[in-house]
Amino acid sequence: MGTTRDLTLADGRALRVHDTGRGAALTVVWHHGTPQTGALLPPLVEAADARDIRVISYGRPGYGGSAVQPGRTVASAADDVRQLADALGVGRFATMGASGGGPHALACAALLPDRVSGVTCYASPAPYTEEFDWYAGMIDDGGPRAGREGREARLAHGEAAEFNEDQFLPVDWKALETTWASLGQDAGAAGGSAEAQADDDVAFTSPWGFEPAAVTAPVLLAQGGADRVIPASHAESLLRGLPNAELWLRPRDGHISILETVPVTLDWLLALR
């Protein structure tokens, strides 16, 4: 499907990078959800190959072979991506982020404005705020609430937490049984990444290190109206804060089924060239 390499960053950390290595029309950097390993997922690669798009992905710190980075913020992703793009000889690229990957995709656009041509986010959390009930509509909000209290509280929560199947709708389970079965398998492979998951939740509920208003690149927000993990209110909050964004709200979709839009959102990114 592609190549995998461990890149040594300027601070000495290892970052595991995956690259299809092919595609002349566009390069996209994929930011995975929480938890995932960062490995390339077949439905994404197949849709990209059909459009002559190169896909690069990586494990965020603590996931899939990448070294942990306690204290990281959402903004920290931008410098990691800058270094991996430089190492792979990539100049300009688009970013894509699913669920917990969404904020990190936006970070790259905010902090690497000369290099990011566009962004697509699928069921992305919004920056934590008290301007609306940030937790409302989440079937299981224990992780983010613990993250708000700090890393140790989130690690303690993770030791006792169990997955709540009610987070996913029937359309989500169908996607996990068919098109996106590889995502479920990859999430299972990332199950031991307790520190990384804690660091994600702490980062999401702390200052991100940039404001959405700093993202000048076009942004497409794809959101399921029935999502029970990241409710539609988050997409609406992001839409208000981003200066050049549009929202594709699919009322019947949930947290996983929204990924069925990946092929058409790749077309959207291609049109920005």
Calculate the average pLDDT of the chain: 97
**Identity (one letter) of the amino acid at 64?**
G
Q: Indicate if the pLDDT at residue 75 is higher than 80.
A: yes
Domain residues for 118? 3-270
Q: Residue 65 in 3-state DSSP?
A: coil
**Rounded to an integer, what distance in angstroms lies between the CA atom of residue 3 and that of residue 19?**
5
Residue 267 CA to chain centroid, in angstroms? Answer: 19
In CATH, what number is assigned to the domain containing residue 51?
3.40.50.1820
Residue 244 CA to chain centroid, in angstroms? Answer: 19
Query: Which residue in the block uniquely carries the two structure tokens 């307790």?
Result: 194
- Range from 27-36, 153-162, 206-215, 261-270 carrying the lowest mean pLDDT: 153-162
The per-residue pLDDT for 96 is 98
The full DSSP string for 166-208 is GGS-HHHHHHHHTTTHHHHHHHHHTTT-HHHHHHHHHHHTS--
Q: Give mean pLDDT, residues 42-63.
A: 98
* Greater pLDDT, 63 or 192: 63
Q: What backbone torsions phi and psi does residue 205 show, to the nearest 5 degrees?
A: -100, 10
Number of domains in the chain: 1
**Identity (one letter) of the amino acid at 266?**
L
Q: What is the pLDDT of residues 79-98, one digit of tens each?
A: 999 999 999 999 999 999 99
**Rounded to an integer, what distance in angstroms lies between the CA atom of residue 58 and that of residue 70?**
18
58-92 CB burial, b ≥16 within 10 A, e <16: bbbbbbbbbbebeebbbbbbbbbbebbbeebebee
Residue 186 CA to chain centroid, in angstroms? Answer: 14
The pLDDT-based confidence of 57 (bands split at 50, 70, 90) is very high
**Rounded to an integer, what distance in angstroms lies between the CA atom of residue 194 and that of residue 181?**
22
CB atoms under 10 Å from CB of 250, counted, come to: 18
pTM: 0.98
The pLDDT-based confidence of 191 (bands split at 50, 70, 90) is confident
The per-residue pLDDT for 273 is 82
Q: Indicate if the pLDDT at residue 64 is higher than 80.
A: yes
The per-residue pLDDT for 170 is 98
H or E element, residue 233: helix 232-241
- Range from 99-113, 187-201, 240-254 carrying the lowest mean pLDDT: 187-201
The per-residue pLDDT for 208 is 98
Tokens of 155: 């690690």
The per-residue pLDDT for 122 is 98
Q: What is the pLDDT of residues 118-169, one digit of tens each?
A: 999 999 999 999 999 999 999 999 999 999 999 999 999 999 888 999 999 9
Q: Indicate if the pLDDT at residue 1 is higher than 80.
A: no
Q: Give mean pLDDT, residues 18-28.
A: 98
Q: Indicate if the pLDDT at residue 38 is higher than 80.
A: yes
The per-residue pLDDT for 113 is 98
Long-range contacts (CB closer than 8 Å, 24 or more residues apart) made by 165-168 = 166/139, 166/140, 166/228, 167/139, 167/140, 167/228, 167/229, 167/255, 168/228, 168/229, 168/254, 168/255, 168/256
